[in-house]
Amino acid sequence: MIYTVTFNPSIDYIVDVDHFQTGMVNRTTGEHVLPGGKGINVSIVLKNMGHESRALGFMAGFTGREIERLLAASQVESDFIDVAEGMSRINVKLRSDQESEINGQGPAIRASDIAKLYDKLDQLGEGDFLVLAGSIPDVMPASSYEDIMARLEGRGVHIVVDATRDLLVNVLKYHPFLIKPNNHELGEIFGVSLSTKEEVIPYAKKLQEMGAKNVMISMAGDGGLLITEDGQTYASMPPKGRIVNSVGAGDSMVAGFLTGYIETADYENAFYTGLCTGSASAFSEELAERNEVETLLRSLGR
Ligand SMILES: Nc1ncnc2c1ncn2[C@@H]1O[C@H](COP(=O)(O)OP(=O)(O)OP(=O)(O)O)[C@@H](O)[C@H]1O
Ligand SMILES: O=P(O)(O)OC[C@@]1(O)O[C@H](CO)[C@@H](O)[C@@H]1O
Q: Looking at 12, 113, 162, 251, which residue is catalytic?
A: 251
Could you tell me if 37 and 8 are in contact, meaning their C-beta atoms sit under 8 angstroms apart? Answer: yes
Distance CA 55, CA 74 (A): 12
Distance CA 104, CA 256 (A): 27
Q: Is the CB of 244 under 6 A from ligand 1?
A: no
Domain 1-19+29-126: homologous superfamily in CATH? Ribokinase (3.40.1190.20)
- Residue burial 1-25, b: 16+ Cβ < 10 Å; e: rest: ebbbbbbbbbbbbbbebeebeeeee
What does each of the 302 residues of the chain score in pLDDT, given as a tens digit? 999 999 999 999 999 999 999 999 999 999 999 999 999 999 999 999 999 999 999 999 999 999 999 999 999 999 999 998 999 999 999 999 999 999 999 999 999 999 999 999 999 999 999 999 998 988 899 999 999 999 999 999 999 999 988 999 999 999 999 999 999 999 999 999 999 999 999 999 999 999 999 999 999 999 999 999 999 999 999 999 999 989 999 999 999 999 999 999 999 999 999 999 999 999 999 999 999 999 999 999 99
Domain 177-302: homologous superfamily in CATH? Ribokinase (3.40.1190.20)
Best residue among 165, 179, 218, 271 to mutate for probing ligand 1's pocket (most ligand atoms within 8 Å of CB) is 218
Predicted pLDDT at 138 = 87
Q: For residue 207, report the phi and psi dihedrals to the nearest 5 degrees.
A: -65, -35
Q: Is residue 251 flagged as an active site residue?
A: yes
Of 194, 284, 178, 191, nearest to 241 by C-alpha is: 284
Q: Which ligand approaches the C-alpha of residue 186 most closely?
A: 1
The domain limits of the chain are: 1-19+29-126, 177-302
Helix (H) or strand (E) holding 248: none
Q: Which residue's alpha carbon is nearest to atom 11 within ligand 2?
A: 248
Measured in angstroms, how far is the CA atom of residue 230 from the centroid of ligand 2?
A: 31
Q: Which residue's alpha carbon is nearest to atom 9 within ligand 1?
A: 220
Best residue among 246, 275, 300 to mutate for probing ligand 1's pocket (most ligand atoms within 8 Å of CB) is 246
Distance CA 116, CA 12 (A): 26
C-alpha of 18 from chain center: 29
